[in-house]
Structure 1
Amino acid sequence: MPLLDDLQSILHETFEGGQPGQPTLFLDGTKADGSGNHGLFATLAGLSAAQASEATILGLSVAAHAAHVTYYLEVGLVFMRGETPSGPFDWKGSFAPGTVDEAAWTDVQSRLRAAYDEMMARVAAAEPLAAEELVNPAVHSAYHLGAIRQAVKLLR
């Protein structure tokens, strides 16, 4: 299924980044020193809790964006599992916490990884998914990766 393969590739690059020496779909190419081309996980892992908590001129902190993407994926998984959602969903509140300590920062990153891994496992298992179940998280997460990468530039 070409669309499913394409969406899986977009999600992989968004979260895992591209592979050195391989063409990318939308991320910058990897530089000789290995920099560039980082997906969401590597970008977040490179920040301390204090850096992730710092609000930028763009508004939200990196921690707030990461918390929101995590919540978004977790809500999407409710639908992918065929569970009955317990909404209404708190989209505004999903940007909290905007300020994190090291334990909370580790927790946000762990929850994000777990949600991504489950979603990708469902795709790999060829579970019947509606296209929007992957289009939405692919586009939404790629947007937030861009916002986070811009915020990181302002922190340095």
Structure 2
Amino acid sequence: MNDMLKKSFKVLLKETFDGPGGNGSWYTESKPGSGIFGTLERVSAEEASIPVQGTTLAAHVDHTRYYLWMVNTYMKGEKPDLDWSESWKISSVDEDTWSRFKANLQNEYTTLLENIHSLTSLDEQTSYGILGSLAHSAYHLGAIRQMTKTVKAPTQS
């Protein structure tokens, strides 16, 4: 597989999850901590459980993890049994569950980077999976960042 294409996938995924590197960004805010993980570091379990427009930050995080898990499962040559609605049912989390959700997302993200690194060829399913994971995660990064502004907004007295 083309090494430049693999590198491009990984650079854009890293920007989405880890934030931009030291030399600016391709599409996110060019500040440290502006990726998914940096944004989530500033969110408590209580804040992750506040409903915003019918869902929670916790649900967005688990849904993003679920999508990455699905792509990773397909990349192993397996077909996952999917139930997309399950990840959206999360309404509240305690600190332990919130920490686990973030760790599970980190694990699926790391696994995806490893899977991309080990690719020797790229079939249609894998190509769509990788590009879909990038687009899907970037969408949720935007949603997470907007929701974070809402749950951290100063309260009106």
Of residues 50, 64, 70 in structure 2, which corresponds to 1:69?
A: 64
Question: For the residues of structure 1 that align with 2:15 and 2:117, how far apart are their CA atoms?
Answer: 16
- How does the TM-score come out when normalised to structure 1? 0.87
Alpha-carbon distance, 1:140 to partner: 0.2
Equivalent residue of 1:47, what SS? coil
Question: For the residues of structure 2 that align with 1:68 and 1:27, how far apart are their CA atoms?
Answer: 21
Please, which runs of 5 or more residues in structure 1 have no aligned partner?
A: none
1:25 and 2:26 aligned: yes
Question: For the residues of structure 2 that align with 1:98 and 1:132, how far apart are their CA atoms?
Answer: 30
Match of 2:105 in 1: 112
Q: Counterpart amino acid of 1:10?
A: L
Q: Counterpart amino acid of 2:18?
A: E
1:12 and 2:7 aligned: no
| Percentage of pairs with the same residue | 33
Equivalent residue of 2:84, what SS? coil
Q: Counterpart amino acid of 1:118?
A: T
Question: For the residues of structure 2 that align with 1:84 and 1:64, how far apart are their CA atoms?
Answer: 23
Structure with the higher helix share, 1 or 2:
2
Please, which runs of 5 or more residues in structure 2 have no aligned partner?
A: 153-157
Q: Counterpart amino acid of 1:117?
A: T
Question: For the residues of structure 2 that align with 1:84 and 1:12, how far apart are their CA atoms?
Answer: 26
Contact 1:53–1:98 under 8 Å retained in 2: yes
Q: Aligned residue pairs: how many?
A: 147
Contact 1:16–1:42 under 8 Å retained in 2: yes
Alpha-carbon distance, 1:125 to partner: 2.1
Question: For the residues of structure 2 that align with 1:126 and 1:77, how far apart are their CA atoms?
Answer: 12
- How does the TM-score come out when normalised to structure 2? 0.86
Q: Counterpart amino acid of 1:3?
A: L
